[in-house]
Amino acid sequence: MSATELKSGNFFGQVTHRYVCAGATLSEVRHPRARRVPLHSHEAAYFSLLLGGGYRETFGRRTIQYGLRAISFHPPGTVHRGDFDASGGRMFAIELASTWLDRVRDFAPPPAFSHYRAGGPLAWLASRLHREYRHRDAASPLTIEGIVLEMLSEVSRRRPCDESADPAWLALAVDLLRSEFQRTLTLGEVARQARVHPAHLSRVFRRKYRQTVGEFVNELRVRYAMERLAQDVPLSELSLSAGFADQSHFTRVFRALTGITPAKFRSSNRSRQHPTIRDVPPDPS
């Protein structure tokens, strides 16, 4: 039996959500009932994370049973078929253009097919990526780029040496983020300025600061806004000057980090001369 090749963005199931970012196509795919997915391959390399239901995947004589939040990486052209159980299933797929594999080729060997159970670093990164995908904001492309690069580094099975002290390039990257947070930055641009590979930048930054580069940028933008909310500046204007795409994104990120909306922060007169995010109490409502 010949295998059907699926182009990027195409699946046998129902695509309920999709988002394309810098050559990565992120999709939620739903199979509402039991079914056998015929033999096929995908043109693009992709990760598949099981969000719900039951699923097993067969490659020749090898069959892999997915547990909840288990994840696999499939190189381009991997031929396989799938079976969903009586409850159907829901998958999160991260398809990658060939340029993504080119980006890690000088940093790590080409990744082969691999499967990981829930609870490991790759499953955690994929779940974090799924949350970002479902709750996107102006800094999401930067966060998504960093997480995808980390995922590719995980499946490459090569780890860079740990750096016991903060490397000089990290200070350069942080200085750039602090000075340019109001504009749209890419991880590649930050990495070029710091003279480090983007995947290594993403991993070391998250280990040092316990957050992604995109989350760091969002925090800088919110701190900038907090210092200016005491002024009589329209929120729509303030959101753009802080680097957010629009006021709704600004409000959502601000509340996520502080516990209250910008309007409530302003009206309650809680701003200080040098406020910090942790200075703001949670919104009782």
DSSP lists the bridge partners of residue 24 as: 21, 96
The arithmetic mean of pLDDT across residues 68-82, rounded, is 93
Q: Which pLDDT score is estimated for 181?
A: 92
Structural contact between residues 222 and 254, judged by C-beta atoms closer than 8 angstroms = yes
Return all residues near 6 (Cβ < 8 A) that are at least 6 apart: 12, 40, 41, 42, 43
Torsions phi, psi for 184 (to 5 deg): -80, 115
The arithmetic mean of pLDDT across residues 142-165, rounded, is 75
User: Domains of the chain, with CATH numbers?
Assistant: 4-132 (2.60.120.10), 217-279 (1.10.10.60)
Q: Is the dihedral of CA 145, 147, 153, 155 positive or negative?
A: negative
Q: Which pLDDT score is estimated for 94?
A: 97
Residue 165 pLDDT grade (very low, low, confident, very high; cuts 50, 70, 90): low
CA distance 99 to 188: 13
Q: Which pLDDT score is estimated for 55?
A: 95
DSSP code for 272 = -
Residue 104 pLDDT grade (very low, low, confident, very high; cuts 50, 70, 90): confident
Residue with the larger pLDDT of the pair 213 and 104 = 213
Position 164 pLDDT exceeds 70:
no
The arithmetic mean of pLDDT across residues 143-170, rounded, is 76
The arithmetic mean of pLDDT across residues 27-47, rounded, is 95
Terminal Cα-to-Cα distance of the chain (whole angstroms): 60
pTM for the full predicted model: 0.69
Position 270 pLDDT exceeds 60:
no
Residue 34 pLDDT grade (very low, low, confident, very high; cuts 50, 70, 90): very high
Mean of all residue pLDDT scores within the chain: 86
Task: Name which of 171, 230, 234, 170 is nearest 200 in CA terms.
Answer: 170
Q: Which pLDDT score is estimated for 101?
A: 86
Copy the structure tokens of residue 73: 């990486």
Question: What number of CA atoms fall less than 13 Å from residue 248's CA on the CB side?
Answer: 3
